[in-house]
Structure 1
Amino acid sequence: MSPQPDPGNPEVLVRTEGRAGHLLLNRPQALNALSHPMVTTLAAALDAWEHDPAVETVVISGAGERGLCAGGDIRAISASARAGTEEAAAFWRDEYRLNARIARYPKPYVAIMDGIVMGGGVGVSAHGTVRITTERSRVAMPETGIGFVPDVGGTYLLGLAPGELGTHLALTGAPVGAADALLCGLADHFVPSAALPALLTDLATDPVHEVVPRHVRPAPPGELDGHREWIDACYTADTVEEIVERLLAHGAPAAKEAAETLAAKSPTALKVTLASVRRARRLGPLERVLEQEYRVSCAALSHPDFVEGVRAQVIDKDRQPRWRPAALAEVSDEDVRRFFAPLGDDRELRLPAPDRDPAQEVPW
């Protein structure tokens, strides 16, 4: 059955094929970046399929050849920040609810993480029950490069990664391939991209636990496992300043490259990101972390680095952001604490207390 547009929103194609319900993100010209209507369409489809006995498995994928999803619609969020409207906060509220919904979904949720999967794309895939990468996968939480902080449950996922790998990825925003996504717990399986059509065809007739093993193959070698020594040694430091000092002093060329990468990021975003990942490890389930991320994201709207980062990287593309403040030493502990301040009872994101933790569950 060919994809048929949802009459309410052709940016998400919703269809069923046999026992599988398919969600196709359909903004290939924008690398399937998530708009607010796309989020609400995804949530509505999950609601409809939860109690539909004809749908046994949900599959999410992206239209076009470049990837699943490059993230949220940053241009729209930046416009909201510049105008001082509530549109961005409303988008995040629904997006983070969707992230939590995916993590608790009672049916297998299969995410095809082919190509670029970044930011909000991680949020609609990496909380799923079966997360499939390919040789084309490039998975990242690149928010510090636009003066923002990993969200959509990213600090939760990265906080669970082995050693300090998650801290490294959160601060640098570095993309990883299939093997490293598997190592960091951002994905479950590697399937060659050429085998994806057959996998999707099989899901129409057979259950997930029978289909996936037919197509899984060993992933090509990654890079991060070979860098664990310097990553774990350097990123255990208490502050971003000390992390940078350790990276520069270590001697490994890759460590020096990481320090140079951090030097280009927003100093405020780096410090808030480090605090976010460390706090996430202590908060418990995903819902509590998403509530924290909502506070941080809302606070970022009023900080100049977010609008400036989007201008430099996405709008003008001059790649010359003017961060304020421009140096790590100028970002105080109090500056960081403001990002975690309560929003007030009427503005907080409050998610239902979970009765189970998806991190402790089997793949399906």
Structure 2
Amino acid sequence: MTAAEGSVDSVLLRVEGRAGHLILDRPKALNALTHAMVLRIDEALTAWEQDPAIETVVLTGAGERGLCAGGDIRAIHQDVTAGDGAATRDFWRDEYRLDARIARYPKPFVAVMDGIVMGGGVGISAHADVRVVTERSRVAMPETGIGFVPDVGGTYLLGLAPGGLGAHLALTGAQVAAGDALRCGLADHFVPSSSLPRLLADLADAPVREVLSRYVQDAPPGQLADEREWIDHCYAAGTVEEIVDRLQADGSRAAKEAADTLLGRSPTALKVTLEALRRARELGSLEAVLGQEYRVSCAALTSPDLAEGIRAQVIDKDRSPRWNPGTLAGVTADDVVRFFAPLGAGELALDGGAVTQEVAW
């Protein structure tokens, strides 16, 4: 049944009937994205876009733990501490372009968001036409925990989430299961993980809509619906300081836990994230938001918190980052605005306009 198969740069390419499969193949690293992987996926999309025999593209991850834990932040740490950040800027440029391409890809793109899907993993899946979650899914944008800001179109997606849910997920980095991923607009369909092998096999012979109808079920209820009252109230505050104050004053255990989480995150990353979310809602298109995120990400390379956050979480694993500034009060408005400064000739060049193309699937 396999018409063609090959693995290069930790991405397995496989053609089965009418479907082209992209399989992220770094299971020991939870399929964390490298620059080479991004380029390999882009090359495959180019080839399959021009191949009339390929009617559907399917993205999955190797191993049992998840689709993708994000970008290779160890490589970013090395580039920031031992280099000038140029390799990371090049990686992000191609990664964000890929995210935009997936969003407007002219053939049905099915992302199987089984297991852990975080950061860059959200970027290559949550912009797809068809986003499938399972009872094992754990979706998150955890960037503030490493002194960074949600990127890969994350502020676009979370800016569209109802009420204060997007700000809650962006600032805390909280993981959500299938039901809440659907509620927040990060996924479309729930399929039990036990049905995935049959669903993937059926895509070789039938259109996506027909196959989905056989396997989609109601997702287990999430928990965010019951927490909307305090989330919407607290995250409607004008500043991060006011958000923390409201969370601490709410009285519920969940709100207090959210406040404690925020107080452990990078103060700079929190303030820039809140501003980025608000600006993203005004920008309109994914391409415009990705352009903003590229500015913010490049600015983060010159901030001490990114290298320090990765060190604390991944390199030394002491989980005790020393943020600079160390308090929310120490982060000024000028500090935040700096992250949004234009890059001149270094801007991310994407075709403008909202993604409006209808994909017949």
TM-score by length of 2: 0.97
SS of equivalent residue, structure 1 residue 212: helix
What amino acid does structure 2 have at the position aligned with 1:44? E
Aligned to 1:12: 11
- 1:4 Cα deviation after fit: 3.3
Distance 1:257 1:363, change over 3 A: farther
Aligned to 1:182: 182
Aligned to 1:343: 343
Aligned to 1:37: 36
- 1:181 Cα deviation after fit: 0.2
- For 2:40 and 2:236, how far apart are their aligned partners in 1? 41
Aligned to 1:93: 93
Aligned to 2:254: 254
Aligned to 2:20: 21
- For 2:85 and 2:151, how far apart are their aligned partners in 1? 20
- 1:350 Cα deviation after fit: 1.4
Distance 1:304 1:12, change over 3 A: same
Q: Mind listing any 5+ residue stretches in structure 2 that lack a counterpart?
A: none
What amino acid does structure 2 have at the position aligned with 1:256? K
Aligned to 2:313: 313
Deviations 1:158-203 (A, max 9, x none): 0000111000000000000000000000000000000000000110
- For 1:267 and 1:293, how far apart are their aligned partners in 2? 18
- 1:353 Cα deviation after fit: 1.6
- For 1:321 and 1:148, how far apart are their aligned partners in 2? 13
SS of equivalent residue, structure 1 residue 302: coil
Deviations 1:118-172 (A, max 9, x none): 0000000000000000000000000000000000000000000011100000000
Q: Is the 8 A contact 1:93 1:349 kept in 2?
A: yes
Q: Choose 209-218 or 88-97, whichever is displaced more.
A: 209-218
- For 2:352 and 2:295, how far apart are their aligned partners in 1? 18
What are the residue-to-residue correspondences of 1:202-217 with 2, within 5 Å? Answer: 202-217=202-217
- For 1:78 and 1:120, how far apart are their aligned partners in 2? 16
What are the residue-to-residue correspondences of 1:112-123 with 2, within 5 Å? Answer: 112-123=112-123
- For 1:290 and 1:355, how far apart are their aligned partners in 2? 12
Q: Is the 8 A contact 1:129 1:363 kept in 2?
A: no
SS of equivalent residue, structure 1 residue 175: coil
Q: Is the 8 A contact 1:146 1:266 kept in 2?
A: yes
Q: Is the 8 A contact 2:287 2:354 kept in 1?
A: no
Q: Is the 8 A contact 2:113 2:131 kept in 1?
A: yes
- 1:362 Cα deviation after fit: 7.9
Aligned to 2:58: 59
- For 1:151 and 1:242, how far apart are their aligned partners in 2? 24
SS of equivalent residue, structure 1 residue 158: helix
Q: Mind listing any 5+ residue stretches in structure 1 that lack a counterpart?
A: none
- 1:356 Cα deviation after fit: 3.5
- For 2:265 and 2:223, how far apart are their aligned partners in 1? 22
What amino acid does structure 1 have at the position aligned with 2:160? L
What amino acid does structure 2 have at the position aligned with 1:43? D
Number of equivalences: 359
- 1:321 Cα deviation after fit: 0.3
What are the residue-to-residue correspondences of 1:68-107 with 2, within 5 Å? Answer: 68-82=67-81, 83-107=83-107
SS of equivalent residue, structure 1 residue 49: helix
Q: Is the 8 A contact 2:33 2:68 kept in 1?
A: yes
Q: Among the aligned pairs, what percent are the same residue?
A: 69
Q: Choose 92-101 or 213-222, whichever is displaced more.
A: 213-222
SS of equivalent residue, structure 2 residue 298: helix
Q: Is the 8 A contact 1:115 1:138 kept in 2?
A: yes
Q: Is the 8 A contact 1:286 1:357 kept in 2?
A: no
What amino acid does structure 1 have at the position aligned with 2:284? G
Q: Choose 182-191 or 348-357, whichever is displaced more.
A: 348-357
Aligned to 2:323: 323
What amino acid does structure 1 have at the position aligned with 2:264? A
Q: Is the 8 A contact 1:72 1:119 kept in 2?
A: yes
Aligned to 1:285: 285
- For 1:78 and 1:17, how far apart are their aligned partners in 2? 38
- For 1:264 and 1:25, how far apart are their aligned partners in 2? 32
Q: Is the 8 A contact 1:285 1:357 kept in 2?
A: no
- For 2:213 and 2:29, how far apart are their aligned partners in 1? 33
- 1:251 Cα deviation after fit: 1.2
What amino acid does structure 1 have at the position aligned with 2:223? E
Aligned to 1:141: 141
- For 1:230 and 1:363, how far apart are their aligned partners in 2? 40
- For 2:85 and 2:167, how far apart are their aligned partners in 1? 32
- For 2:360 and 2:268, how far apart are their aligned partners in 1? 36
